A = this chain, B = another copy of it.
Amino acid sequence: MTRSYAILGTGALGGFYGACLAKAGFDVHFLMRSDTNQARKHGLRVDSKSHGSFAIKPAQICDNPADLPDCDVALLCVKTTSNDQLDAILPQAVRPSTTCVVLQNGLGVEEQVARYVDPRRILGGLCFLCSNRVGPAHIHHLDYSDIRMGRYTSDGSAAGIDPVMEDVARDFHDAGITVNLAEDLVEARWQKLIWNVPYNGLCVVLRTTTDRIMSHPGTRAMAESLMREVADAAHAATGRTITEGFIREMLDRTDRMAPYRPSMLVDLDERRPLEVEAIFEAPLEAARRAGVATPRLELLTAQVGLIARTLVDGP
């Protein structure tokens, strides 16, 4: 049996993964908010160095979640800044037998999905992907594409790996996408925050790239201190231990990277809403509830929050 996929949010991320699955022969249905006319007429176009240039044509497009057919898997691909729309999407798009994969940043996102979807059918995914929407129904994929995926549990326990996860991972593999399965989704989400908090935060506040953060001794030390605060919060809030070796590896990896604009800086430059809640406020709140002090995270969150508000209100 070939599984069918619903792409909830056909932007730079959902459009890319969905197009790769459709190209590999899966039955893929795209939920789109804009670009529907272009996509119906000319299909959905992807230009990628690693995955080639191709168009899905005709693409199975709809702009109303109620028009989606029953699908085996629904990929939730809207940004967390649009999560006020989950209420309008999920109850109709995710049917009783559908597995919902939450491909979003940060913490607490599966909890929001669990208001509408049976928690036992929720997976979470962390995407390592650089892709942009460059025109109507036209996506430019720049680099990376892999996903780290784990099973959500209401009590935050590690659920291990099961056949449903393996099926989804195999489908993605057939579409040219590597999915690394995580035994423990909570640990995977905190591990990703170890990188995202310091580099998204400092690069947005200072409007600069990762290499400059790393080459100035003061900000380099602060990136490391922020990692430790996030690790302390993870431990206090969830019992997960993020090792010294993991922190070193994140620093070393960033040293080896070409000058990089983290996704939140790209959002800022494009004047898109910033994912402050999922990436900053949620871990800060977790730290507070656990009674652990994270003063640098607190200051950085306030700074990013003011910048996000400036984007909305104007300076």
Contacts and interface: CB of A to CB of B under 8 A. Distances in A.
B206 A305 contact: no
Contacts of A310: 208, 212
Contacts of A309: 216
B302 A222 contact: yes
B303 A225 contact: no
Contacts of A208: 306, 310, 315
Interface residues of A, number: 26
A212 B302 CA distance: 12
Interface string A292-315: 000110111111011101100001
A219 B296 CA distance: 13
B218 A306 contact: yes
Nearest to A307: B206
Contact of A306 (B212, B300, B302, B303): B212
B303 A205 contact: yes
Contacts of A307: 206
Contact of A302 (B219, B302, B303, B315): B219
A221 interface: yes
Contacts of A221: 302
Nearest to A207: B315
A38 to B, nearest CB: 36
Interface in A260-304: 295-296, 298-303
A310 B205 CA distance: 14
The 5 A-B residue pairs with the shortest CB-CB distance in the complex, in nearest-first order: A218-B302, A295-B295, A218-B305, A222-B302, A216-B306
Interface string A135-172: 00000000000000000000000000000000000000
Q: Is the interface of A mostly helix, strand, loop or mixed?
A: helix
Given A208-B310, A208-B315, A219 B295 contact: no
A302 B202 CA distance: 10
How many copies of the polypeptide does the oligomer hold? 2
Contacts of A302: 216, 218-219, 221-222
Contacts of A206: 205, 303, 306-307
A221 B284 CA distance: 14
Contacts of A303: 202, 205-206, 218-219, 222
From A221, A300, A302, residue with most partner B Cβ within 10 Å: A302
Interface string A205-244: 1101000110010110110010000000000000000000
B315 A222 contact: no
A243 B295 CA distance: 22
A218 B284 CA distance: 12
Nearest to A284: B218
Interface in A174-220: 202, 205-206, 208, 212-213, 216, 218-219
A296 B294 CA distance: 10
